[in-house]
Every structure is written in structure tokens, then in C-alpha cells.
Amino acid sequence: MKLHFIGTAHTDMYGKERLRRALDIERPDALAIESSQELSDYIKSSEYKHSQFKFLKKLKRYGASRDYFQIMQRKFFELDNYEIFIPEQYSKNHTIPLFLVDDPRHVAFVKESFVEELDRITRKDVQEQNSLCSFLYFQNSYEQMQRAMASGPGDETDLVCVNLKFLNLSERETIAAGNIRTLLCSGSYENVVVVYGSGHTLRDTYGFTLFSKLKDLEPTRKLLCDY
């Protein structure tokens, strides 16, 4: 029985292609992802699409450049939530089960974050992004993670502590870990692959992260950018 984590970056411009390749390489007989049924339903809803269009309208009103606007369009309609859609597609194509293991209450955090981001954006923010947008395609979303993982558990623990408020950890990680543990203990699957945000796959000495909570199962891991 094998448990393997693929650590993703939500802003990965090449995430769809990389994740397709990663799943073809790992060949799971079961998939678990960073989502719940509630979150999956929300990102497919008209409410979510309306929020995206509202965001784009505000960017246009505040003078977003053509390049910046197109990047955000691509982000919303091609890249966002690839960690849900690609595993769904793989599950259907290969007739394997897909398990949504995240805390169902996390959808409230996602909704609030979107509203806050929309309310917070200013003309100054848009002008700054106009000048930076040409670099967005070339940023390495994994750089900080790669450095920490290469340095060892001490640096990974430090990064976890820095990012605690962003990762929204504690009970959420415990719920996901319990769901994955139940899945493995069923004995029904030989190769379970978990697709999760890379911050959740860090090792930390305090046992905060999802990966650390399952260390007794001897999971392996790899960042999506390394496929």
C-alpha cells in the first residue's frame, strides 16, 4: 500500500499540463483532493462565476492593461481550481474513485476570501499590477517550498509557522488526515495519490500539517513542478 502526495501551487500557470503528466506517471488506483463536495459545488455555481465577472469588471473600470486583464481572464477561466478539475477528469477516464477529503466548512473561507479580495482592490493596486504583469508568466510559485524542502525539517517547520494563518490549519488538517487514514485503512487500494496545496505537504516538528499528521503511514511526496 502506497500513499503519495503531489504538492501543488494554486497559481501554477502550467498546473493543468503538469498535473495530467504527474497522474500519468503515478498511476493511482484512488485519488484524494483538497476539496469537499460543498466547495466543488460552489466553484461550479453561477454565484462563483458571477463573482469572477464582477472582479474582471472592476479591473477594467480601474484601468487594467490589456495584458494584465488577459492574464486574469486566463487565471479565472482556465487555471483556477485545476487541482479539482484534472483529477475529476482522470478519475472518469480511468474509472477510479475520487475522494474529496477537505473540511466541508472551508468553503465559507473561500467565499469570504473572494469577497475580501474584490472589496480590497484599488486603482493603485491595478496600476502596480499593470507594470508587473509581464513577469507573472515566469514567476516560480514553488521557489520558497523548494528551498525549504531542500534544507530539511527545520526550515520546513519555520515555513509552516510563518504560513499558519494562510494555510488555515489545525482542525481542517485533522479532518482531512482522518478521511485519508480511513481511506487507506479500508485496504481497498494499493496506490493512493493525494493532490493538495504544497504548504500542506511540508514536514513540521509540531505535527500541524496534513503530511505530518500522516507520517506514521510513511507517505512520499513530490512538488508538481518536479514532474
- Evaluate if pTM is beyond 0.75: yes
Helix (H, G, I), strand (E, B) or coil at 81: coil
Asked whether the beta carbons of 102 and 34 are under 8 A apart, the reply is yes
pLDDT of residue 35: 96
> Given this model, what pLDDT does residue 165 score?
58
Here the cell at position 18 is 503538469
Maximum pairwise Cα distance, the chain = 56
| pLDDT score, position 168 | 58
Please report the pLDDT score of residue 71 as a whole number.
84
C-alpha cell recorded at residue 214: 500522516
Count of domains forming the chain: 1
- Number of Cβ within 10 Å of residue 126's Cβ equals 19
Per-block mean pLDDT, blocks of 10 residues, the chain (227 long): 95 92 98 96 93 92 90 84 96 98 91 84 86 62 86 84 66 94 94 96 89 96 96
Question: Would you say 157 and 204 are in contact if contact means Cβ atoms under 8 Å apart?
Answer: yes
Residue 133 has a pLDDT of: 67
Q: What is the pLDDT of residue 136?
A: 58
- Residue numbers of the domain that contains 73: 2-226
